[in-house]
């Protein structure tokens, strides 16, 4: 596995001198389509199909906001080129796909910094996928400048600072049926470092992939893939999952032996990445003390004491939500589900299992991208079932600044 990582890093270093080759890839383009996000993840590629992972259009004016990802297709109908830009700072990226019998590859460059920002590779042997390699630079390569740093300085910094490199390398093990039974992976994550995992694949009676369960070297495991039933729609899935999640949140609070009564319960999540909520509460006593000292904040300062939620009893539903978000390229579904969860907890006052204040509220939020103004935060609270009268009461108490 270390050889796979070293091979990937060598390919990345080599790509520093290949930025000019993108112009030749454009010569392969026969048709163009547009999308409102990333498409054509190599993980979905096989020699029979290459699903886009989301909708495409030939009319880029349909993309709102107007910042489309452009995809060019070769004479075989396969994506060969892509470009996109950042909505606000106008940074551009370009990438290209290449295909051979033994290797399929995607390389992307940040045009502002001039460095390869992402690489995906799948290697084949006798038509069978034997390994997968992927890496990207934290920030998609925007934090560097080849005009102020040499290529060698950039490479050494990214390799060694512990926060820049995101990588996964995987090998596949096949069973007697010719289907993948296990996959073994090594990962590098910013701030965490290296860790390993392995996947176990399970198939239904028709031989179709049903589930993938991932086991981490720390001893935990998680269902990371679950096939979605044909009759399942986003609305019914988020409703059913929210009901289950609300009960699991309740159970975590009971086990956590929290101080009662509580006034506020935050379901902290990370948009597009992690919808397993961390629970952080503020008791009535804490809120009153902060108000007296005129130091109240809805943002807790003790996330180290956050409670985890056990989702094992409804892990198939959760995995199906993750799969649906990926297939539809719609990360808002996870946010909708957690807002519905908070609405149930607020409306039913933690189902009477925990003592709460008369104006108790639960809310789901990712403070890194939302809730930065009173208006935005109050809109979130309303979505989570908080009554307008309670917001006015909090305003009079000085809870909004």
The neighbouring-strand residues paired with 356 are 262
The band of 109, judged by pLDDT with boundaries at 50, 70 and 90, is very high
Q: What pLDDT, on the 0 to 100 scale, is given for residue 96?
A: 96
pLDDT, residue 184, reads 97
pLDDT the model gives residue 68:
87
Give the pLDDT score at 363.
98
Give the lowest-confidence range in 291-295, 327-331, 378-382: 327-331
pLDDT interval class at 292 (50, 70, 90): very high
pLDDT classification of 88: cutoffs 50, 70, 90? low
More reliable by pLDDT, 19 or 90 = 19
Domains of the chain: which residue ranges? Answer: 2-226, 234-397
Residue 27: phi and psi, rounded to 5, are: -65, -20
Query: What is the Cα–Cα distance from 153 to 146, expressed in whole angstroms?
Result: 9
**Measured between alpha carbons, how far is 134 from 46 in angstroms, rounded to an integer?**
16
Looking at residues 326-351, what average pLDDT do you find? 94
157-175: average pLDDT? 93
Does residue 49 or residue 64 have the better pLDDT? 49
Per-residue model confidence (pLDDT) at position 30: 97
Which pLDDT score is estimated for 66?
Answer: 63
The model carries a pTM of 0.81
How is the beta sheet containing 221-226 ordered, strand by strand?
A: 31-35, 69-73, 79-85, 92-99, 103-110, 115-125, 128-137, 165-174, 180-189, 193-203, 209-216, 221-226
pLDDT for residue 115? 92
3-state secondary structure 164-203: CEEEEEEEEEECCCCCEEEEEEEEEECCCEEEEEEEEEEE
Helices 374-383, 388-397: crossing angle, 10 deg rounding: 140
Nearest to 313, CA basis, from 243, 263, 365, 260: 243
Confidence of residue 321 (pLDDT cuts 50, 70, 90): very high
Across 69-75, average pLDDT: 96
- The whole-number pLDDT of residue 266 equals 96
Residue given tokens 């899935």 in the structure block: 237
Distance CA 389, CA 374 (A): 16
Q: Summarize the confidence of residues 33-37 as an average pLDDT.
A: 91
Average pLDDT of the residues in 297-302: 78
Q: Can you tell me the distance from the alpha carbon of 363 to that of 23, in angstroms, rounded to the nearest whole number?
A: 49
Based on its alpha-carbon atoms, the radius of gyration of the chain, rounded to whole angstroms, reads: 24
What's the whole-number mean pLDDT along residues 256-263?
93
Task: Please tell me the least confidently modeled range out of 22-26, 64-68, 151-155, 392-396.
Answer: 64-68
- Given this model, what pLDDT does residue 358 score? 94
- Percent of the chain at pLDDT above 90? 74
Tokens of 241: 């999952």
Compute the average pLDDT of residues 145-165. 86
Average pLDDT over residues 141-161: 84
pLDDT(31) > 70: yes
Greater confidence, 327 or 7?
Answer: 7
Residue 301 pLDDT exceeds 90: no
pLDDT at 148 over 80: no
For residue 299, what pLDDT is reported? 82
Task: Tell me how far apart the alpha carbons of residues 357 and 347 are, in angstroms, rounded to a whole number.
Answer: 13
pLDDT score recorded for residue 65 = 65
Residue 132, pLDDT score: 97
Mean pLDDT confidence for 242-271: 95
Q: pLDDT at position 52, please?
A: 92
Q: Which is higher by pLDDT, 260 or 328?
A: 260
Instruction: For the chain, give the mean pLDDT.
Output: 92
Most distant pair of Cα atoms in the chain: their distance: 72
Helix (H/G/I), strand (E/B), else coil: 163: coil
């Amino acid at each position: 596995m270390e050889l796979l990582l070293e091979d990937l890093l060598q390919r990345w270093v080599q790509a520093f001198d290949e930025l000019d080759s993108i112009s030749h890839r454009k010569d392969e383009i026969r048709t163009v389509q547009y999308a409102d996000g990333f498409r054509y993840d190599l993980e979905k590629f096989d020699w029979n199909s290459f699903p886009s992972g989301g909708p495409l259009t030939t009319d880029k004016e349909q993309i709102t906001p107007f910042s489309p990802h452009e995809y060019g297709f070769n004479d075989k109908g396969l994506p060969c080129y892509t470009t996109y830009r950042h909505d606000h700072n106008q940074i551009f990226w370009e990438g290209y796909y290449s295909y051979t019998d033994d290797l399929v590859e995607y390389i992307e460059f940040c045009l502002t910094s001039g460095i390869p920002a992402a690489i995906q590779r799948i290697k084949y042997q006798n038509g069978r996928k034997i390994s997968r390699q992927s890496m990207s630079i934290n920030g998609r390569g925007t934090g560097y400048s080849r005009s102020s740093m040499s290529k060698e300085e950039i490479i050494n910094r990214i390799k060694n600072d512990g926060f820049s490199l995101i990588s996964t390398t995987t090998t596949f093990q096949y069973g007697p049926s010719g289907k993948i039974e296990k996959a073994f992976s090594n990962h590098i994550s910013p701030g965490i470092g290296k860790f390993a995992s392995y996947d176990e694949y399970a198939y239904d009676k028709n031989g179709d992939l049903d589930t993938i369960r991932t086991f981490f070297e720390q001893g935990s495991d998680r269902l990371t893939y679950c096939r979605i039933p044909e009759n399942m729609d986003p609305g019914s899935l988020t409703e059913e999952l929210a009901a289950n999640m609300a009960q699991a949140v309740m159970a975590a609070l009971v086990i956590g032996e929290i101080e009662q009564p509580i006034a506020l319960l935050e379901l902290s999540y990370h948009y597009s990445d992690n919808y397993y909520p961390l629970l952080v509460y503020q008791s009535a006593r804490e809120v009153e003390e902060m108000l007296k000292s005129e130091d109240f904040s809805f943002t807790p300062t003790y996330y180290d004491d956050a409670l985890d939620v056990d989702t094992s009893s409804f892990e198939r539903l959760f995995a199906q939500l993750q799969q649906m978000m990926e297939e539809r390229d719609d990360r808002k579904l996870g946010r909708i589900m957690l807002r519905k969860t908070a609405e149930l907890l607020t409306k039913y006052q933690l189902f009477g299992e925990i003592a709460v204040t008369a104006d108790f509220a639960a809310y789901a939020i990712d403070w890194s991208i939302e809730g930065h103004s009173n208006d935005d935060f109050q809109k979130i609270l309303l979505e989570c079932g908080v009554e307008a009268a309670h917001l006015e009461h909090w305003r009079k108490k000085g809870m909004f600044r």
